[in-house]
Structure 1
Amino acid sequence: MSSVMVSSSEALIAVADNILNSIADLNKVEYNKKGRKYRFVNNNFQRIREEDKHLIICPEDPSLNLSSISAFYILYNINNGEILQQFPDFCLSIIGVARKLEMEKWNEVENSSVVHYNNARFDPMVIKDLALSYLEDYEIQPRHIEMGLNLMLCAKLNFLHTDHHIGTKLEGYYMKHYVQDYYGPEALESSDVLVALKSFVHWGNIKGFLYKLDVPNINVSQELIDNFASFPEPSAELKASVYDRYPSGTSKYSLIRKSIDILGDWKYSKLIPFPTSEEYDLSWLYALCHDIETDPIRYHLRSVAKGMCLEPVNLTELTNTHSHQVKSLLELISLIINIFHDTGGEFLLQNSKIPKLTNKLIESNKELYQTLLGVCDGIDNYEEKDWDSDDIVIRLGGEDDDGEHKHTLFNVVMDMRQKYIDDYE
């Protein structure tokens, strides 16, 4: 048996070829998780949507009109294409925006929702004549583009707030508002419209659309900024809605601060003793909420995976750091709302994050529970005598005496509000 000697350079070339072949093989690797398929694309495993939902583009040859035909193909394959006749304005919005995405380079980077013609696994051109005939019968107008872009913006807002563009039903106030306003109440209830939107809303570039909504500190390249320079200015209403909810992954912090603020405004909050131990300290919570409201994209659940910003916050580390404080504050909120009457926070108990008043909860907070019960009994006694709330507060010692700043729910909340007064304007 003879061996063949090779030079160092030849050996290095062989190793390099082997690595390149491995990478090529990796690009073909797919795996399934929880019913979803993922493929290695752009140096990352990305979810693969059904292939008939891909927007297929060929920007270097606009004469093909490929994006329009591809969008038509997708609509045509929804419930035998009934949507094309039932909701023509809706379909023209999707087809028109698909064309704009390709021509203006507003589309998502090539991954599992937008692919180049050369890499497509099906050919939408098989129904080219049918698509062009439809577009002759139903002309795309500027209003269709405006409507479709607004739907796309609404979907990106949904992503910011909930981590998904479209749920199992239409979600988001503005998404539902625009669908009904543009296409009628029937469209709002149509399963075909929902299916079409599930494809359509993923085609737009997430970073670009959020950048145009003035979400601060989005990690956008100069190329993307230049591409979106021609994008029509979103309405002030949509831009403002960026701050309607906290970004996905941070809702528990918003819930706690909202609950504390509501209870702090309650007429008897000056009578509620606020625990002084460290786990009930509110400084970290209000500081964190201020930072989230100032720079929401840093706290998004998928900022790291999608490279949404330069310095994303690790939400797992954040949770681990404050887990004990979060638990203690949620339990305190539950105790106050369940023990006292008409606090204004009863609706908060519908949120699963706020624990139910169980024997276990009471036992683990026995001293605090008994203290709050005593305050409640005192309030009830005077209310039964028809005393008004101001007099009850004075009688039970809720007002400051001799300049003393009592550690009550009211005073603690007011101190935090004063510190972050700009957040309440």
Structure 2
Amino acid sequence: MLILPDISKNLVSICDGIIENQQQASQNTNEYSKNGKKYKLTSNGQFIRVQGEAKHLLVSESYEDFKSNLSILSSYHILRSHGTLLERYRNLALAIIFTSREIELNKWYEPTSKVCNLESSQYNPQYVEKDALNYITNVSQASRREYIKLGCMILTATKINFFQTDHNVTSPTLEGYALRRLIAESCGDDALCNIDVYNSLRAFSHWCSIKGVFYKLEIPGLKIDSALIHNFKSFPTVPGWIRETIKGRYPAGCSKCSLIKKTLYLLDNSIYGQLLSIPADLNYKSFLKLCKDIELDPLKYHIRSGSLGLSIEPSIELHRIFNNANKWIMWISSVLHAIGEYRFAEGSKMITSNKIFKLNKVKDQKAYKETVKLVQEIRGMSDEAAVRSFGLSNSLSTQIGFT
């Protein structure tokens, strides 16, 4: 049993802890800790959890401190922990190290980026100074510029992945055409499945501002302040072939819409565009209107739009307004399984999507049975004969008018 002096001591200790926490909070109102977890204030006034600080890039905030080469030492220290990356994939390592320096000097980061200063870091990279500087010593200025360009394009490719999938990089195999091409050309095909490459890219991709790269990609509807725009003036111009990989792509959170529209487009460009009709209860006009809005203002539909403040417009959770998505998926699944590859070579690729229902789930659907019958009836017919015999006045092609 506690006696009164013990209770008093406990109360004093608790009060001291509260005062200490309040003092720390008053010193830095941009972050706080709770239950051993750290939270950081974002640009839209919300706090997000800070994770993996051991992989944060360390930067100096004042020009006077830039001479300490903190970002170079920090990035080298992080890459050093990733197996044999420094030795085996030197081109990638140098691209990351030199680009990290540009991130520091040009402030290509924002509150959501995984960067911090030395005072708030969980590690001090000064011990690697000699090794880090030796690693980059013999690189010419011309080569350094090329490595920076490569690093910036790798960052851009990871942000294109984030736009489309909500992930910068994937494992066990890297995904995204632009990222795969850049890594394969600079490191070799084996790097596409290398865990050290994955871990290095995963850390690297989080050091740079998402909004800054989206600005360079000219994604419409982006919410970005003038200071960040100014900082990214020094970011290299993105080549046309990389820009092309994001055109026509839907943002993360809209994959069902994208799959449905792509299926409609492929059907429209096949004989089945004239032989099938979209059921009235799917309300195809409303769907096409939704697709148009996503294409014109994609960021407000991105799954992280609200938490990261990506869009000028209020964020929209697609599942709340696209309430017949599963009906659409059921219909296209039924049609795709019924057609298979008959006069529709693209069908095999579409069926592999993890959003397409399996055959055993659609085989009792009316759309499946009717389409199977249609396919059987047109076998052996020419396209002209099939359209003449089974063409519809309210066909899919007439309804959606893609072509």
- Distance, in Å, in 1 between the alignment partners of 2:82 and 2:20 is 44
Q: How far did 1:30 drift? A: 4.9
Task: Give CA-to-partner distance per residue, 1:267-298, whole Å, 9 cap, x none.
Answer: 2432324433xx22211221111121222211
2:179 aligns with 175
How far is the alpha carbon of 1:202 from its aligned partner? Answer: 0.8
TM-score, length-scaled by structure 1: 0.80
What stretches of structure 2 of length at least 5 have no aligned partner?
A: 1-17
Cα distance change, pair 114–266 in 1 and its aligned pair in 2 (3 A): same
Partner of 1:27: 32
Find the counterpart in structure 2 of residue 320 from structure 1.
320
Does 1:196 find its partner at 2:189? no
CA 1:220–1:30 in 2, change beyond 3 Å: closer, same or farther?
A: farther
What does residue 162 of structure 2 align with? 159
Relative distance call for 1:271 and 1:128 in structure 2 (3 A) is: closer
Kept after mapping to 2: 8 A contact 1:248/1:300: yes
Task: State the partner residue of 1:8.
Answer: none
Question: Per the alignment, in what secondary structure is the counterpart of residue 329 of structure 1?
Answer: helix
How do residues 43-62 of structure 1 correspond to structure 2 at under 5 angstroms?
43-49=46-52, 51-60=53-62, 61-62=65-66
Moved over 6 A (4+): 16-19
Cross-structure match for 2:6: none
Separation in 1, partners of 2:145, 2:343:
52
The reply on whether 1:395 has 2:389 as its aligned counterpart is: yes
Given that 2:164 and 2:251 are in contact with CA atoms closer than 8 Å, whether structure 1 keeps it comes out as yes
1:63 aligns with 2:64: no
Aligned 8 A contact 1:214 1:239 in 2: no
Match of 1:208 in 2: 212
Q: Which one of the candidate residues 308, 311, 318 is aligned to 2:310? A: 308
Superposition pairs for residues 59-98 of structure 1, below 5 Å?
A: 59-60=61-62, 61-79=65-83, 82-98=84-100
Output the CA distance in 2 between the equivalents of 1:115 and 1:281. Answer: 50
Separation in 2 of the partners of 1:122 and 1:329? 51
| Contact persistence 1:170–1:176 (CA under 8 A) | yes
Task: Give the corresponding residue for 1:150.
Answer: 153
1:226 maps to 2:213:
no
Aligned partners of 2:248 and 2:295 also within 8 Å: no
Q: Counterparts of 1:259 and 1:70 in 2: how far apart (Å)?
A: 47
Unaligned runs of 5+ in 1: 1-15, 32-37, 400-405, 419-425
The whole-number CA distance in structure 2 between the counterparts of 1:357 and 1:188 is 33
| In structure 1, C-alpha distance between the alignment counterparts of 2:150 and 2:217, rounded to whole Å | 16
Aligned positions of 1:119-138 closer than 5 A: 119-138=120-139
Counterpart residue number, 2:117: 116
> Would you say how many aligned residue pairs link Structure 1 and Structure 2?
371
Q: What one-letter code is carried by the residue in structure 1 that aligns with 2:47?
A: N
CA RMSD of aligned residues (A): 2.6
Q: TM-score, normalised by structure 2?
A: 0.84
Does the 8 Å CA contact 2:338/2:369 hold for their aligned counterparts? no
Cα distance in 1 for residues equivalent to 2:384 and 2:109: 60
* SS of residue paired to 2:48: strand
Counterpart secondary structure, 1:243: coil
Higher-Rg structure is 1
Q: Which residue of 1 aligns with 2:287?
A: 285
